[in-house]
Amino acid sequence: MGILLSERTDIFHVPYGPLNHDGGMNTGFIDLKANIALIPVLPPCIGWPETRDLLRSINATLSPFMSLAAHQCFSDDQHQDQPVRLISFVTLCLAEITHNDKAMINDLATFLHSQMDHLLQEISESLQQRLHLEMVIESQPTAFHHFEVDGWSLTIFMAASGHEHHTVRATWGWGVQALINALASYHSLEDT
Q: Render pLDDT for 57-67 as a digit per residue (tens, 0 to 9).
A: 999 999 999 99
The pLDDT value given to residue 94? 97
The pLDDT value given to residue 20? 55
Contact assessment for residue 181 and residue 119, using Cβ atoms and an 8 Å cutoff: yes
In a domain, 39, yes or no: no
The pLDDT value given to residue 147? 84
Task: Please give, one letter per residue, the 3-state secondary structure of the chain.
Answer: CEEEEEECCCCEEECCCCCEECCEECCCCCCCCCCHHHHHHCCCCCCCHHHHHHHHHHHCCCCCEEEEEEEEEEEECCCCCCCEEEEEEEEEEECCHHHCCHHHHHHHHHHHHHHHHHHHHHHHHHHCCCCCEEEEEEEEEEEEHHHCEEEEEEEEEEEEEECCHHHHHHHHHHHHHHHHHHHHHHHHHHHC
The pLDDT value given to residue 77? 64
In a domain, 84, yes or no: yes
In a domain, 42, yes or no: no
Q: Which range of residues forms the domain containing residue 67?
A: 2-9+62-191
Q: How many domains does the chain have?
A: 1
The pLDDT value given to residue 192? 56
Contact assessment for residue 16 and residue 31, using Cβ atoms and an 8 Å cutoff: no
Please choose, from the candidates 32, 65, 180, 188, the residue with its C-alpha nearest in 3D space to the C-alpha of residue 112: 180
User: Each residue's pLDDT tens digit in the chain (192 positions)?
Assistant: 789 999 999 999 997 777 655 555 566 789 999 999 999 999 999 999 999 999 999 999 999 999 999 999 998 766 777 889 999 999 999 999 999 999 999 999 999 999 999 999 999 898 888 889 999 999 999 999 988 899 999 999 999 999 899 999 999 999 999 999 999 999 877 665
In a domain, 21, yes or no: no
The pLDDT value given to residue 83? 87
CB atoms within 10 A of CB 8: 14
In a domain, 57, yes or no: no
In a domain, 47, yes or no: no
In a domain, 146, yes or no: yes
Which residues are bridge partners to 70 per DSSP?
A: 90
pTM recorded for the entire structure: 0.92
The pLDDT value given to residue 168? 94
In a domain, 32, yes or no: no
